[in-house]
Every structure is written in C-alpha cells, then in structure tokens.
Structure 1
Amino acid sequence: MTAPPAKSPDQPSDKLDAAVLKIASVVVLGAIMSILDVTVVSVALPTFMSEFEATYATVAWTMTAYTLALASVIPLTGWAADRFGTKRLYLTALVLFVAGSVLCSVAWDVTSLIAFRVVQGFGGGMLMPLGMTIMTRAAGPHRVGRVMAVLGIPMLLGPIGGPILGGWLIDVATWHWIFLINLPIGLIALIVAVVVLPKDAPKASESFDFRGMLLLSPGLALFLFGVSSIPETGTVFSARVLVSGLAGLALIAAFVVHALRTDHPLIDLRLFGNRQLTFAVLTMSVFAIGFFGAGLLFPSYFLQVRGETTLAAGLLLAPQGIGAMLTMPIAGQLVDRIGPGKIVLTGLALVALGMSVFTQVGVDTGYPLLLGALFVMGMGMGCTMMPTMTAALQTLTDSSIARGSTLMNIVQQAAGSIGTAMMSVILTSRIIAPQGAPEGSSGQPDAEMLAQLPPEMQQSVLSSLAEAFGFTFLVATIVMVFALIPAAFLPRKRAEKPEGTGAPVVMH
C-alpha cells in the first residue's frame, strides 16, 4: 500500500486552531445578540400592543426600525474596518448595541422604544459583517467553509432560542428583560474581545466615500421603509410606499452610477466582475426572500390558527434549528473539499421540500408532520446559507474580504426585508373578511373578537386563516425553487487560492 504524501511543513492545516477558535468565541457572542434580538422581539409584539395601547401596525415598527438601522449602517462597515481596524470597530459596535438594549428596556412609550431600537440596530448592523471579516482573515481563504460553519451557530440559536427565550422571559418576568438580557452577554463579549482579538493594523489608504454614503445609506433606508409599509397601508400604490420606495431606488441607482465612476466607492460594485460572487449574491437574494419571508409566518400560524402560547410556539420551532445544527458543520467541511455548488443545491431542495408540507396546513394538521417538515427545512438551511456566503468570499483577496462580506450582508438584509413584506401582503390579502369575520388592526382576525363568535363561526374563520397561510407558503416554496437556478452556476470543485493573496492570512 502506498503511503499518502506527507504534508509540506509550509502547507497550512485545514483545521481551525485554538487561536482562531478563541476569536470565533468573541464573534459568535456578538452575532448571537444581534440575531437573537430579532426573534426575541417578534414574540413580544402582542405584549407591546397591550402595554403601550398601540395597534399591531405601530408596534411592528419595533422590528422594522431595527432592520432599517441595521441595513443603513452596513455599507459603512467595510470602509471603517479598513480605516480604523476591526477590533476597535467591533468594540464600538458592541458598546452601541448594549447601550441601545439598556435604553430599550427603559422605554416609556412605543415611540421611544422604536427610537431606541434604531440605536440598537446601528450597533447590531456592524456586528455580523465585522465578525465575518475578522474570522475570514484569521482563518485564511482555505478554511472559509469551516469559518462560515462556526458563524452559522448564531443562525441556529436565533430561530431556536429567540422565541423560547422571549416567551419565557415575558411569562416569568416582564418585557423589559428581553432587552436587559443583552447586558451581561454584551459585557462578557466586550471583556473577551479586549483580551482575545488581535491588535489592529488600520490602513491610512482610501478616503471615505461621503457622496456614496449620502446616496446608499438613505437610499436603502427609504426603499426598505417603503417596502415595509406595504402591509400597514395594504397596497403598493399608497403615497407612503411609492414616494419612499421610488426615492430610495433613485438614490440607490445614483449610487450605482457613482460607484462605477469612483476609485474607492463605499461598496465596490466591481466585485460583481467575480462570476462566483455574482451567482452567490443572486442565490442569497432569492433564498432570503423566500426563507426569511416565510420565517415569521411559522410562529404566527401556531399562535393564531392553533392557539398556542408564545412559549409553546417557540418550542415548536425548535426542530428547524436542530436540523440546521446537524447539517451546518458537515456542510462547512464539505464546501472546503468539494466546493459549494452541490451542497447549496441539496440545501435548497430540502428547504423547498419541507416548506411544501406547509402549503397544505389546516386547523388540525398533525404536529408530527409539521415538526418533521421544519426539521427537513432546517437541514436545508444548514446546507444553504453559510455555503452560499462561502462561495461569495472564498475567491476574494484579503483586501476585498471586508467589502465582500459587507455586500453579502446588505443583500441578505434587504432581500429578507423584501421577503417579509411580500409574504405579509400576500397573507393579509388572502385573509380579508372571510365570510364576514371580524378583522384586527393588522388585517388579521383579532383573538378577542373571535372569542365572542359562536364555535362554528370560529372554526370557519380559522379554516380560512389556515388556507391563507397555506397559499402564502406556496408562494414561498415557488421562490425557493427559483433559487435553484443561480445556485446551479456555483462551483462544484474546491476553490483555488485567489490570486494576490500570497499565503493564507492568519492573524496572531
């Protein structure tokens, strides 16, 4: 038997060493807070409605404002990471996020809560792209798949832990604690970051693209504001949606023209000259519209149609996270060996298969079937999200990684917001006045009004509501199938080291 060739002493190991894992612990802590905060607040909306005596459309802005702030600050992150250093910026983002969390916990009305969520979003928006940049630089391009698998941990804990934690804290304490919980986690992350993260080596290179910032950040915020207003206004043709959306698109279009004419734009659109990154962006866009758009519907189905408590609804979503937990580490290793193409195609097929079960949901659909479908979807998500991120970043040079991760995060946030608004509009349009059923402020049947109806009328309304959910899940499933098209162009071989990187970059 011929012995396998010995590794050259200069050839880097594929395994993540202790130094990289220590850095990963800091990044994961920050990302967990940022992602967990989205799902924790989602189950608190009914509590905000009663606490602040506000409509659903109003309290929904506690989530929308966070997303808008998060998306607006992401474009600045790539330049700031290069200019000031990733460690300093990461510490700043942590402080801003924790401060915003504490402010949210002392909010005295819904307006102040929405304002403080903006502060929180500014910090949260920098945590994930910065974490991706720090980890990718620390591990080197040859281990990007494993790095993305580690960064996928927050993606798993968010869907599992968020609804459960939020429901539990509201049940045993008060809504204030869904924000105060970030204080001890944030302090631990700050201390560990100061000790573990390597010293900065900021570059005094490019000047800041102020014109690009004044075009792109407001453009993204206005566009997402317009899109997010569709469920509240009930139509695309309202002045609020059209004026904001079109103004945002005009600013984004102006930024595209500006970015292609300047040497150091805020977001380097020339990265789209990289074929692999382009198809990864297209795959992520379509996937995020379908997956995140449908994501908020699962707890709503369990709460509204099946009458579950917030804690029970959170627990019922756990199989999705468990499925992803099983496949994500395996997918991360396989991507480094065989490329992302086959992994992502398999993942998208699994997500579409699991989601297709929900197209047939009713008032009494068996829980074993639904939980099994969520588990299959989770397995698919574990094979899709981070491998797609890997496909985008693994061929970039070290100097382009910060800009590439920033671009991918903008795409993910924008597409997720579009998907959420789109699915909300479809769901609301299918529910309107089934057989004279009462409507709540959100366009969906109000629980208190339903309780006053005769049992047979309640059953009729709930059946109509279940059909509306099923149709919306059908649209989301079709979107997931379309994501297979750009995914088919992703590479199916191990990535070669990008030109100009030299040896893989490892931070000490």
Structure 2
Amino acid sequence: MSGSTRDTAATTDRVDRRLLGIASILVLGTFMATIDATIVSVGIDTLAGEFDASVTEIQWVSTAYLLAVVTAVPASGWLADRFGARRTWLAAVGVFLLGSLLCALAWSATSLIVFRVIQGLGGGLLPPTGQALLARIAGPARTGRVISIVAVVPLLSPVLGPLVGGAILGVAPWPWLFLVNLPIGVAAVLLAHRHVPAIAPSPQRTAFDFRGAALLSPGLAVLVYGLTEAAHGRTLPAAIGVAAGAAMLVGFTVHGLRTRRTPLIDPRLFARPPFGAAALALLVLGASVFGTMFLLPLYFQTGRGLSAWEAGLLLAPQGVGAAAGAVLVNRTIDAVAPRTLVVTGIVLILLGTVPFTQLDHGLADGAIAAALVVRGLGMAMIGAPVMNIVYSRIEPDHLPRASAALNLLNTVGGAVGTAALAVVLQDRLSAHGPDIAGAFADTFWWVVGLCLLAAAGATRLPRTHARKP
C-alpha cells in the first residue's frame, strides 16, 4: 500500500483492531531490544564463571550492548528516510537476531562482548523506527492513544528483565538468555511482512551526515564510557572519557548548526516548542527510570541480602503501576491537557521516590511496594503524552528524525543517569562506610533532584492539544 493511501486512511479518529494489531507487532521489536538491556544483569555471575572472567570484565557484556544502542539510535532517522521505516525496522530485527544467535554461540568473554555490540546495533534501531512507523500509520488523530499502549513496554522492561533472566537461568543454561529472542523475532518478521504496510521513503534523498555521525555517536559512547569508569573509581580514564565525549558533542552541535546539509539530528529541533521541553522530560525520565532500576536491585542484594529473583519480585509492583498508568493514559490522553498529564506523572514519580531517601530508617517492604506502584503510575503518564505532543505537531516526513532524537535522549538519559548515580553511590559508600542503607538513601536525593528538574521543564509544555487534521 502506498504512503499516500495510508496517510489518507489514517485520518480517521478510531483506533480499530487492525491498528492495534500493527502496534502489537511493532512493539515486539521494542520489547526484545529494551528487555535485553537488563535480562543479562542477573546472569553476570554465571557468565563470569562460564568464561573464567572477572566481574569487571564480564560487566562489559551489559556496557557494550548499551554503548552500541547509543551509537545506533542517531542513524535511525536517516535510514528510515532513505530506505523506508518498515524496511529499516525489518533489517534491524534481522541484525538483532543475528547478534542474539552469535551471543548464544560465544566461546569466550571477548567474543560475547563483540557479539553484544552487533545485537545492540540492531536493538538501537528498533524503538525509534517502530515508533516513527506506527505514528505515520496512525496519523496525528490516533497517535496519542496508540503510543500510550506501546509506550508501557520500555517501562516494564527494566522490571521484567531480571525476572525473565532469573527464570531462564533457573531451568536452562546461559545461552538461552539470548536464544529466547529468536522465536519472538521470527514471529515479528513474519507478522510484519503480512500486516504492517510499507511507507514510502522520503522523496528527498539527503546524503548521510558522516561528520555528524563521527562526532555524535562516538561522543555519546565515550561520555558513557567515561562515566562508567568513574563509577569504578578509575580516575584517569574517566576524566579522559568525559572530557573527550563532551568535546565531541560540542563539536557535533557546532557542526549541526553550521552545516548546509541535513544533519544526523538537527540541534535546532530542540529550540522548537514544544520539542525542547519534551526532550528534557524524556531525558530526565530515562535517568530516573533506569537509575532507580540500577540502585534498587543493587540495594536489595547488597543491603538486604536478597537473591536476584527475590529482588526482581520486590520490583514487580512498579510494573503493575506502569500497566495501570497505561490504561489511564489511553483513556484520558485525548481529553486531558498534555502538560497536565506530564506534570502529574512527574509529581507521582517524585512522591514515589521520596520514601527511598529514608532507606536508612528501615523502610518496610510494604512501603517499598507502594512507592514503586506510585512511581510506575507516574512513569506511564509521561512517555506517551510527551511523544504524542511531538508526533502530533510535526510534519510526517520529519517523524523518523524526530523519533530518533526523542529515543536518543531517553536512551542517553538512562545511560548517563545510571552512570552518574553510580558515581554518586560510590562516593556515598566511601563516606558512610558500613552504613550501606545510608549511602543509598543519600543517592536517592539526586533522583529527587532529577524529578524537580523534569518538572521545571514540563511547565513549558503546551496546555492544549494540537489541532487534528
């Protein structure tokens, strides 16, 4: 079906069964990519023993995947413009599945890390291309309700990942941490070929921004690497990584503002209301979600002596809250002002985070569960409305690059936020000594600060909905 035919069909306001089916197919890609960022976390000890590697070495199995995702996301907009969003999405699934198979066949820690990079390159393309394709098929009038359904997947993945990983390792050997992706991915490809319509590539064939790619993706990867090294107490490589990464990102911004060609991600997008405020909200949301999912499991295992499975179960209420929030947003996203939903969501995350600043006072499991439900509810009220604000106000031809920018900021927020909080935690652990709970409590005050920063940015979001075509 042609792009023009599809756009005409998408002007209806009704979210029908066919559109929900397309969304369900595309969300499989996002599910695989996002859950794979955390599914390996519970298998670090197992992999270290299997390959006779230190925990520090095997930790790169997770870090390499994250860096590859950060590297791939910026190119997703150009690839979708050049080859079409569906074709790019299908190719990304193929690369992800190839990486998954190679990971399962790895014979050493080094080979596993290399294959995780391949997997991450495919995984990094899946969420932005899938969202851009879905927004284009749905049209502005239906984007909000559809995105509110699929946006819950990235919120559930940090919770489900450790649970799924722990369940797999309980009944199967470690290669199944990666082989589990194969049937899901094959089903997604077959269903997409049959049910997801093709959207024609952009008629404007812009040249790939090689200079921008050489500055942005490596700059982000080097910055995250530097922060990761800082969390491990390695001062010199951390300083070099942070300085070099920041310098490359400044260079990319200057290049993006000066070039006469279409940049990989246009810095001017962030000056266009409401994109700047939306970007800040997603950046801080990523830092808060993934930062908390880094801190809490670590605290449960080191501070309370829980197993990985027990820690995952204690985190499950956040998934329950996110699912409930997704239902609420789906029913109200077209009736309630976007800014109201986002600000309310940030306030709920703030309220759900404050109890964790009191971990050193013996916070009960019931209070932790209640706080996580509130946090999950709040998180679901941010992502979908923010993306709806942007997608419903931007021209269809610009959707792939806008989606790439939003997903990049959410991913970078998660990566940089986690690394930065790890640095804070390391400092607090040194200051508190044996008082582990006190160190984690102090670190959560930084998460509270991130929520306040997001709230300040959210006040600049529009009060009204975009006009429907």
In structure 2, do the counterparts of structure 1 residues 303 and 107 end up closer, same or farther at CA, with 3 Å as the change threshold? same
Contact 1:146 1:329 in 2 (8 A): no
Q: Indicate whether 1:289 and 2:282 are aligned.
A: no
Alpha-carbon displacement from aligned partner over 1:436-476 (angstroms, at most 9, x marks no partner) = xxxxxxxxxxxxxxxxxxxxxxxxx4xx1111111111221
Counterpart pick for 2:374 among 373, 376, 385: 376
The match for 2:230 is: 230
* Counterpart-to-counterpart distance in 1, 2:190 and 2:9: 34
Residue correspondence of structure 1 range 329-478 to structure 2 within 5 A: 329-362=327-360, 364-432=362-430, 461=434, 464-478=435-449
Residue correspondence of structure 1 range 50-69 to structure 2 within 5 A: 50-69=49-68
The match for 1:451 is: none
In structure 2, do the counterparts of structure 1 residues 139 and 28 end up closer, same or farther at CA, with 3 Å as the change threshold? same
* Counterpart-to-counterpart distance in 2, 1:268 and 1:27: 26
Residue correspondence of structure 1 range 196-235 to structure 2 within 5 A: 196-205=195-204, 206-232=206-232, 234=233
Alpha-carbon displacement from aligned partner over 1:349-389 (angstroms, at most 9, x marks no partner) = 11111111111114853211111111111111111222222
- Counting aligned pairs with the same residue, the percent is 40
* Counterpart-to-counterpart distance in 2, 1:364 and 1:286: 28
Q: Please, which moves more after superposition, 344-353 or 471-480?
A: 471-480
Q: Please, which moves more after superposition, 170-179 or 387-396?
A: 387-396
The match for 1:23 is: 22
* Counterpart-to-counterpart distance in 1, 2:142 and 2:272: 20
* Counterpart-to-counterpart distance in 1, 2:274 and 2:307: 44
The match for 1:448 is: none
Contact 1:73 1:125 in 2 (8 A): yes
Question: Secondary structure in 1 aligned to 2:202?
Answer: coil
Question: Secondary structure in 1 aligned to 2:274?
Answer: helix
* Counterpart-to-counterpart distance in 2, 1:128 and 1:220: 18
Alpha-carbon displacement from aligned partner over 1:129-155 (angstroms, at most 9, x marks no partner) = 001101100111122211221222322
Contact 2:81 2:201 in 1 (8 A): yes
* Counterpart-to-counterpart distance in 2, 1:147 and 1:332: 8
The match for 1:38 is: 37
Residue correspondence of structure 1 range 13-162 to structure 2 within 5 A: 13-162=12-161
Alpha-carbon displacement from aligned partner over 1:39-68 (angstroms, at most 9, x marks no partner) = 211222222233333333322221111111
User: Which of these two proteins has the greater Rg computed from alpha carbons?
Assistant: 1
Supply the AA of the counterpart residue of 2:277: F
* Counterpart-to-counterpart distance in 2, 1:403 and 1:92: 18
* Counterpart-to-counterpart distance in 2, 1:11 and 1:132: 15
Question: Secondary structure in 1 aligned to 2:40?
Answer: helix
* Counterpart-to-counterpart distance in 2, 1:373 and 1:43: 23
Q: Please, which moves more after superposition, 66-75 or 287-296?
A: 287-296
In structure 2, do the counterparts of structure 1 residues 399 and 52 end up closer, same or farther at CA, with 3 Å as the change threshold? same
* Counterpart-to-counterpart distance in 1, 2:268 and 2:447: 31
* Counterpart-to-counterpart distance in 2, 1:433 and 1:476: 19
Q: Which has the higher helix share?
A: 2
Contact 2:100 2:181 in 1 (8 A): yes
The match for 2:253 is: 256
The match for 1:455 is: none
Shift of 1:222: 1.7
RMSD over aligned Cα atoms: 2.0
Q: Please, which moves more after superposition, 100-109 or 132-141?
A: 100-109
Question: Secondary structure in 1 aligned to 2:201?
Answer: coil
* Counterpart-to-counterpart distance in 2, 1:329 and 1:155: 15
* Structure 1 unmatched ranges of 5 or more: 1-8, 436-460, 498-502, 504-508
Q: Please, which moves more after superposition, 240-249 or 101-110?
A: 240-249
In structure 2, do the counterparts of structure 1 residues 339 and 143 end up closer, same or farther at CA, with 3 Å as the change threshold? farther
Counterpart pick for 1:301 among 299, 302, 307: 299
In structure 2, do the counterparts of structure 1 residues 209 and 11 end up closer, same or farther at CA, with 3 Å as the change threshold? closer
Shift of 1:11: 10
Contact 2:71 2:217 in 1 (8 A): yes
Shift of 1:419: 0.7
Q: Please, which moves more after superposition, 368-377 or 387-396?
A: 387-396
Alpha-carbon displacement from aligned partner over 1:90-133 (angstroms, at most 9, x marks no partner) = 11100110111111112222221111110000000000000110
Shift of 1:345: 0.7
* Counterpart-to-counterpart distance in 2, 1:164 and 1:117: 20
* Counterpart-to-counterpart distance in 1, 2:442 and 2:213: 40
Q: Indicate whether 1:173 and 2:144 are aligned.
A: no
Shift of 1:12: 4.3
Shift of 1:33: 0.4
Contact 2:421 2:443 in 1 (8 A): yes
In structure 2, do the counterparts of structure 1 residues 478 and 253 end up closer, same or farther at CA, with 3 Å as the change threshold? closer
Question: Secondary structure in 1 aligned to 2:265?
Answer: coil
The match for 2:4 is: none
> What TM-score comes out, normalization by structure 1 length?
0.86
Counterpart pick for 1:245 among 242, 246, 265: 242
The match for 2:311 is: 313
Contact 1:82 1:202 in 2 (8 A): yes
* Counterpart-to-counterpart distance in 2, 1:193 and 1:49: 37
In structure 2, do the counterparts of structure 1 residues 332 and 230 end up closer, same or farther at CA, with 3 Å as the change threshold? farther
Contact 1:362 1:467 in 2 (8 A): yes
Contact 1:160 1:321 in 2 (8 A): yes
Q: Indicate whether 1:483 and 2:426 are aligned.
A: no
Shift of 1:490: 1.0
* Counterpart-to-counterpart distance in 1, 2:373 and 2:176: 29
* Structure 2 unmatched ranges of 5 or more: 1-7
The match for 1:447 is: none
In structure 2, do the counterparts of structure 1 residues 475 and 153 end up closer, same or farther at CA, with 3 Å as the change threshold? closer
In structure 2, do the counterparts of structure 1 residues 383 and 181 end up closer, same or farther at CA, with 3 Å as the change threshold? same
Supply the AA of the counterpart residue of 2:161: G
> What TM-score comes out, normalization by structure 2 length?
0.93
